[in-house]
Structure 1
Amino acid sequence: MIGPSTVEYIFLRASILFLHNIAPISLLYFALFITSFLLNWNPQAYRLPFPAEVWLLSEAAFYTIVFLPYENYLQRATTHPEPLTQEERANLFARCHKHVSDPEKYIRQWLLGAKSIDIKRENVKEFIRWAFWNAADVLQGDEDEVEDYVRALEKLLGRSIPHGKGSAKSLRLTLDKVNCSHRSLFWYLCVSVVDTITFCSMLYNGFHFHRTSLTCFIELFPFRPLTLVSTYESPAKHLTYWHRPHTSKTRLPILFIHGIGIGLYPYTNFLRELNTGDEECDGDVGIIALEIMPISSRITHSALEKDVMVHEIQTIIKYHGWTKYVLVSHSYGSIISTHLLKSPLTSPAIGNIMLIDPVSFLLHLPDVAYNFTARQPVHANEHLLWYFGSKDIGVAHTLARRFFWSENIIWKEDLGLAVEQWGEGRKVTVAFGGKDILVDTNTVGRYLMDASSKGLQTGDQAMGMASEVKVAAASGLGGAEREEWKTRPWMGSGLEVLWFEQMDHGQVFELERTRRPIIKAIGVYTQLKGTSLL
């Protein structure tokens, strides 16, 4: 993530201005080009050098022939999950209701920051119908239940909600328009260059690329010519991934799932460092790093449905013979992690977990949805998130047509239930940045650490590295007083938090000193005790 400085702001806004105006300039030049011939103007007076002319005419053709029809195609209504039963809705509402710390903010942000005077009963009901029925309208018999939820919100607010309908409009991701921005051929050329750098870096670091069938080559744009030389093929239909073979008999392998952005490029150093600097390791710790292309600045297939994604990941895991692994994910990857944890197909194989900047906790709160899709950007980092994240055509479609919050949310109790599956318990660490502009990390952190396990000592090795991890996490990251759970020593047991006071969303991967405590914690998580994996 970019910082909030004035220089970065000017650079970013200039970059966005350039990229955003390529299409209109290209169309204008194309119109001038055609008009000059139709009106018998001297074309040479208006012609640019041949390479520039080819580029602009290509951009104009790409916008009109590819982007506009594709944007219209993506507006199709989605297929929502099976509706919840009345009991399931009531339980979900009660759970959400219990964890709303700021009721006024909760209501206002779900209604796109509307003023309280503009929010009336029908506006709130409109939101509730979408949130708990996945619909714009419900059966007449369900309206009483909707009214019950409104009354419960009134008690939470400590005031009544006026009857009628105000001017407020609710945020209903899966019903609203897919709101995306055009991406130029020049931008996709940049993506292709970054992809090539990532490809070479991963190969250099000992990873093998597993492509999909060669017949699927044209289903991804920009094209990836280097993938044609890969001799490894993915056992899954849609998912490509990078694999480093697992040779250690005393460690567990790692499954890594990235977040929204430009693929695995921001994580190459992190993935390289996961298996370095450990002299006691008897071999390499295997890693599978999935590529989730619909959220990686590409034009490709729609984001996979939950069950399809789980099935394809399980197919990959079985293909490599893994029976248990450490799950590591970042940002949007926590949504896929949630599906893996909830599925009886994949959950038994998941050992310890590291969630970095997760977005799946307290997802009923409006922060993630509002900050990513509706907030008007002001600072440089907000513009970066807005233009290069939420306005990307694949990301916008994923969030508007494939993102069902009630399926994607995970509760602390879900992690507790998972603990009972293993004799020693599943260990979970959540890494947060104190300056995160997407997630309300203070609220989520308090929720996770309230009445949670305080990290019992689990052995000499966990004890030995506990202070090292915590010191590395805290050093140089701000000396202001923090809440106790933010500075609690990491013990390698139960549910714990690593807090990085000055880090924004995703910034923890940028510096070696902030990657180090996360990598050390994962290293402890991979350790087997008296058990041979192979």
Structure 2
Amino acid sequence: MVNDVPFYIRKSLKTTNLPPILFLHGLSLGTNSYILFVHRLSLLDRTIILLDIPHAIEELLNAFDVKKVNIISHSYGSIVHSCIIKQLSRFIQDQPAIFIDPVCFLLFDPHYLDNFIYRQPRTPNQLLLHTMCTEDLYSIYHVERHLCWYECVLWTKDIQQHRVRSHVYFSEKDDLIPVSIVNEYLKKSHIDTTIFRQYKHAQFLISEQYQEDVLKTLDQLETQSITV
């Protein structure tokens, strides 16, 4: 722990010039929900940092003398990702970033509020998401009482200003995100995106193909950073 903040770190046994990978998970039953993806990350022979939200990222990175990080974020974790880009840009300047099922873009769109809070669930996936957002005390505090969208929203100009090499993944049947609207917004600013057909929010966690594609894209972005 650093300043009473819980975190998990797996240090690479191999010497590499590549920065650690910081994974920011979404609202869930805890990091165990992401265990298959975290295991896949661990096979990269890279230092992996995984935090339980809430956390104090700046103190953690400084404690381990980390100068740069490559970030993969999922769902609510993309809001934390957004804050890092805007407030701790020295850690991510010129670095790769991958967003999966992000809720940080166009956060003012009314679809988010309806899907997060007011919609009555009609499918098992919607019921799970509704439970995460409205029955967990920590989630209720943030989603229903303390989510300042104007601080959390990420604009494409923020990504471009800090030269973040980003790729955004969407699930076509996402139950939270207005995928077509957000995808069109990103495309207009030449942000690369991928839409996984027939997938719902967070189903990348059970898809080997989806996870492999994410890691392949990370490798491409890192190679790009070396050659540029």
The one-letter code of the counterpart of 2:165 is K
Show structure 2 runs of 5+ residues with no match. Answer: none
| 1:253 counterpart residue number | 20
The alignment of Structure 1 onto Structure 2 pairs a total of residues equal to: 224
| 1:287 counterpart residue number | 48
Alignment of 1:105-116 (within 5 A): none
| 1:263 counterpart residue number | 30
The one-letter code of the counterpart of 2:89 is S
Is 1:352 paired with 2:96?
Answer: yes
| 2:203 counterpart residue number | 507
Deviations 1:493-518 (A, max 9, x none): xx311210111010012111111100
The one-letter code of the counterpart of 1:242 is Y
Among 213, 217, 220, the residue aligned to 1:521: 217
- Three-state SS of the structure 2 residue aligned to 1:285 is coil
- Three-state SS of the structure 1 residue aligned to 2:109 is coil
- Three-state SS of the structure 1 residue aligned to 2:158 is helix
Task: Quickly say closer, same or farther: Cα 1:347–1:332, change in 2 above 3 A.
Answer: same
- Three-state SS of the structure 2 residue aligned to 1:508 is helix
Deviations 1:105-164 (A, max 9, x none): xxxxxxxxxxxxxxxxxxxxxxxxxxxxxxxxxxxxxxxxxxxxxxxxxxxxxxxxxxxx
The one-letter code of the counterpart of 2:59 is T
Show structure 1 runs of 5+ residues with no match. Answer: 1-233, 279-283, 293-302, 304-308, 420-425, 453-494
The one-letter code of the counterpart of 1:450 is K
- Three-state SS of the structure 2 residue aligned to 1:443 is helix
| Alpha-carbon distance in 2 for matches of 1:393, 1:449 | 36
Is 1:447 paired with 2:185?
Answer: yes
Is 1:411 paired with 2:181?
Answer: no
Is 1:433 paired with 2:205?
Answer: no
Deviations 1:284-320 (A, max 9, x none): 211100111xxxxxxxxxx6xxxxx5xx211111222
What is the aligned-residue RMSD (CA, Å)? 1.9
**Structure with the larger RCO, 1 or 2 (CA within 8 Å, 6+ apart):** 2
| Alpha-carbon distance in 2 for matches of 1:382, 1:516 | 26
Deviations 1:352-407 (A, max 9, x none): 10011010100110111210111122222222222343222221122122211111
On the 8 A contact 2:21/2:70 being kept in 1, the answer is yes
Alignment of 1:364-379 (within 5 A): 364-379=108-123
Among 219, 232, 244, the residue aligned to 2:10: 244
Is 1:383 paired with 2:131?
Answer: no
Deviations 1:409-436 (A, max 9, x none): 11111111111xxxxxx31000100000
Q: How far 1:451 sits from its partner (Å)?
A: 4.3
| 1:272 counterpart residue number | 39
On the 8 A contact 1:258/1:331 being kept in 2, the answer is yes
| Alpha-carbon distance in 1 for matches of 2:37, 2:61 | 21
TM-score, normalised relative to structure 2: 0.91
Alignment of 1:56-455 (within 5 A): 234-237=1-4, 239-246=5-12, 247-276=14-43, 284-292=45-53, 312-343=56-87, 346-350=88-92, 351-419=95-163, 426-452=164-190
On the 8 A contact 1:326/1:525 being kept in 2, the answer is no
- Three-state SS of the structure 2 residue aligned to 1:289 is strand
| Alpha-carbon distance in 2 for matches of 1:498, 1:320 | 33
On the 8 A contact 1:332/1:358 being kept in 2, the answer is yes
| Alpha-carbon distance in 2 for matches of 1:358, 1:387 | 19
On the 8 A contact 1:266/1:510 being kept in 2, the answer is no
On the 8 A contact 2:22/2:48 being kept in 1, the answer is yes
| Alpha-carbon distance in 2 for matches of 1:257, 1:272 | 15
The one-letter code of the counterpart of 1:272 is H
TM-score, normalised relative to structure 1: 0.40
| Alpha-carbon distance in 2 for matches of 1:509, 1:523 | 19
Q: How far 1:275 sits from its partner (Å)?
A: 4.3
| 1:193 counterpart residue number | none
Deviations 1:211-266 (A, max 9, x none): xxxxxxxxxxxxxxxxxxxxxxx2233x2111011443232210111000111112
The one-letter code of the counterpart of 1:435 is K
Quick check: which one's strand share is greater?
Answer: 2
On the 8 A contact 2:28/2:132 being kept in 1, the answer is yes
- Three-state SS of the structure 1 residue aligned to 2:226 is coil
Task: Quickly say closer, same or farther: Cα 1:451–1:324, change in 2 above 3 A.
Answer: closer
On the 8 A contact 1:274/1:523 being kept in 2, the answer is no
| Alpha-carbon distance in 2 for matches of 1:523, 1:242 | 22
Question: Structure 1: which 4+ aligned runs deviate by more than 6 Å?
Answer: none
| Alpha-carbon distance in 2 for matches of 1:515, 1:357 | 13
| Alpha-carbon distance in 1 for matches of 2:175, 2:70 | 28
